[in-house]
Structure formats: C-alpha cells, structure tokens
Structure 1
Amino acid sequence: MMLLPRQHTGLIGDSLRHDSTRPHGIYSLPSPPMSRPGSRPCWLPKPRLPAMPSLLERLSPELQLLIMSELDYQSLIFLSTVNRHFHRLIDPGRMADPADKFQFVMRAAKDFPQHRPSEKGRDHQPGNLECYICFRVRAPEYFDVLQAPTACLDPHGRVVSDREPGPGDRVVSLRRFCIECGVGHGLHAPLDCLTTRAGQFLWICQCRKVLRKPDCLRCSDCGSTCPLRPKRVW
C-alpha cells in the first residue's frame, strides 16, 4: 500500500502548499493601478473647484455700489482685500467720506499696535506716520523731517512755488503728508533736498523723481544734478 503525504488545509479549504511560481508575499509590491488613456492619474490632487460667489457678489452692480456707499473707510479697505472681485470694484480712497478718512488714519497711527514705535533694548524703531493727502499710514522713510508747515495757493488751489505770492493767493496750514504726495502736489519743488525721518538723504530732479544721495547724484532722464544747497524754506 502506498502512503501519500497528508495535505493541510487552510481556513477556507485551500491546501497550504508551496507554489514556486508565485512570488513571496513579503517581497511583492502592489502594482500601481492602470489609468485609462486620457484619465487623470490617481496620485495627482484633484483640481479645485471654483469658489462660489458670495451673496453680495450675486447682487446687481448698482445694488453693490449702493451698499458700499454706506460703509466707512475701514470697512471699505477690509472689503477690498477679500477677493479679486471686490479689489477691482472698490477704491477706498475715492469712495469714502473725507472726514471719515481723516479720523481713521489719525486713529490708526496712534492706536494700531503695528504702527507704534518699538523700543526693545538697543533696537529702536520709530513708529509709522499718517499722510493726510493719500490717507495712508506709512513707514518713517516716506516722510520729510523738514516738511513745510504752510503753503501758498492760487485762486485755483494750485501751489505757488515758481513766483512771488500775489494779491489773490492765500496761505494755508499743512498737515503731515508723505514725500510722494508732496512731489505730486507741488509741495516739494524740483532740486529740493530732503531728509527722511529714517535718516535717508534724498533730492528731487527736474523731472520730479526722488533720488537718493549719494547713490545717485545725476538723473539719467532729465540730466539734472544734485544741488549743493540746503532745502528751501517756505
């Protein structure tokens, strides 16, 4: 009588015999799933769906502008930073009330922590300052130390800087303004020398560009050179 070796069965009845044609489970790696031609690979992130417009964006443009006309300067600034739609639609400097802009920049420069001066040890950082022309709070390097306290205006409201004041001109007091606004409104004349509140030395060329001394002593556009005289006093 022939004796055959006993075969042990598994839990589901399959024989636990060694199959030389099958790779061992320890060394086998799962094959990546096959992707169909033209389909997106499974390991890439799914594309983000476009964000749904908010309830305010769904309103008509006329109604949106009507709502925004009731907002204060601070709310308009915040809303203009929400998304691209409101950034294109809202111009806080043009839409806000002048008195509201005046009050906000004054309060922001004094009360907002990020604009206060820092005196930690030897690291002294001067605080930011407010400009009452563009109604922005800016760093000290944007402001002139010897800013003019007054200006002479003609009957049309233009700054008189190239002639002597006439009978129809009037002298007005000036609040703080940044160098950029001073150049744009004629409060800083060409060939003026400026010293910023951060200790930088600047001068204005004939084409009204603000250049730094001593890095640039000659304007490449208009050819004017840096004057060797102090800033003109109004």
Structure 2
Amino acid sequence: MNEATTPGELQQFLEENSQIYKKVLLLKRLKNIIWLMLWLPTIAMTSYIAYNHTTMDPQALADLAIPLLKWGGLVCTIIYLAYIVLHVPVVRAIYHAKSVVFPRYNAAASEQEQKTFQWQAYFYRPERNIPGGNTTAFILGAKVVSLFLLIIFYQFSWIHALDRIGVALNNEHYSFMGFIDFALFSSLILFAVVLIFTRVSSLATKKR
C-alpha cells in the first residue's frame, strides 16, 4: 500500500516487536547464566585438581576427582539439554517476528516507512552496534559447541582418572557413558528438528 500507516498500526508493531525483543533478550541472559554456571565451576575444579596433581597421593586424588568428573559430567549433560531447549522459544519468537509482525506492518506501510527485519538485532540492546548475522550465529554456535566439548572433557577425564588407578572399564561404565552420549546427540537432533519445524511453520504462515 502507498498510504501512510496509521498511528495505531505503528503502535501495534512497536508493541509486538518490543515484546519479542524482551522475550529473546531475557532468554539470552538465562542462557548466558547457564553457560557461566557450567564453565566457572569446571574451571575451578580443574584448577584444583591440577594444582594438587603433584602433591596429593594418586589414590586420594583419584578418589576425589572420579566422583566429581562422573557426576559433574551427568549434571552438565542435564543442564546442557535445558540450554538446548531454551533455543526453541527463541527461534519461534524470532520467526514469528519475521513471518507475521514485520510482513503485516510492511503490507500496510508506505515504501518509506517499511521496516527491515534483522534477526540478530533481538540479541543486543538498541544502543549497541548490531553485528552481522554471521557473527551472531558464530557466537551462538560457539557457545553450544563449547558446552558440548565440556561434557566430552568430563567423560575423557573420568576415563583417564580410572585408568590412572588401574580400574578397567566395565559394562556399568560403558552404560553410563552411553547414556550421556545418547543425550548429547539427541539434543543436537532435537535442535535441528526444531529449526526445520519452525522454518516450515513460518513458510506455511506466509502462504495463508
């Protein structure tokens, strides 16, 4: 349309876009807290074990480290699954803005008043310079991968600690590791399915 938008249409757009922005930013903060909550204790624990590596008796150090590494890896895996699930409302909110909020406003706006959709803008405060989409995607992906590698670190460190005291892996150990591996790869598959489903849903919305 070539007619100028009414104040009501602009106000509706600003309110809906603001709600999506606040929701995404809140979820981003929550994910950042989870990320730090996993990394900071791990760094502290690893530093403590490394510091006492040459001063403590190997058996005593192993008795301390093995439970921490085993159950720490399990806790990290569970929290990691929650971290992945938090991407679901983020992706859905952004796709709603892209497929509903922006098209509805631009359809009623003149060419000069139309808004350009930038998905990465929802992850930053308005007063900040907004990086490109590739940069934002890299940062988000790097955090997911870093937590994935953190859990792998727990597993290999646990296996190494068992080996240092001469404990051979048995079926119980393999079952425990298998559960964690299954949860890890299931979370990645779930994330991919969510992205695909959200994309298909947004395309279906456009066709209505």
TM-score (norm 2): 0.21
**Higher Cα Rg: structure 1 or 2?**
1
Higher share of residues assigned helix: 2
Higher share of residues assigned strand: 1
